[in-house]
Amino acid sequence: MEKQKLDIPNISCNHCVMTIKNELSNLDGMVKVEGDVESKSITVEWEAPLTLEKIKSVLDEINYPAS
């Protein structure tokens, strides 16, 4: 299992965090998604076949690109 913290500058409220959680939780291999409005970041835990590149791609698609 892999774990990564990603900075998401577009996070402005808890609704943003919930949107990200809902989208990423649907990915095959996603284990855990946590978000923090104050630090504008998320922490993701995943396992194969999911990759960090795929996670970042989905974040781009939903308008919350990782910096």
**Which residue segment(s) compose the domain that 23 sits in?**
2-61
**pLDDT value, residue 46:** 98
State whether residue 52 is helix, strand or coil.
helix
Number of domains observed in the structure of the chain: 1
Give the domain CATH number at 40.
3.30.70.100
pTM of the model: 0.95
Domain assignment of residue 66, yes or no = no
Give the pLDDT score at 31: 98
From first to last of its 67 residues, what are the pLDDT tens digits of the chain?
999 999 999 999 999 999 999 999 999 999 999 999 999 999 999 999 999 999 999 999 999 999 9
The Cα 7–Cα 26 span in angstroms is 20
Q: Are 66 and 59 in contact (CB under 8 A)?
A: yes
Domain membership of residue 14 (yes or no) is yes
Residue 39 located in a structural domain: yes
User: Of all helices (H) and strands (E), which one includes residue 23?
Assistant: helix 14-25
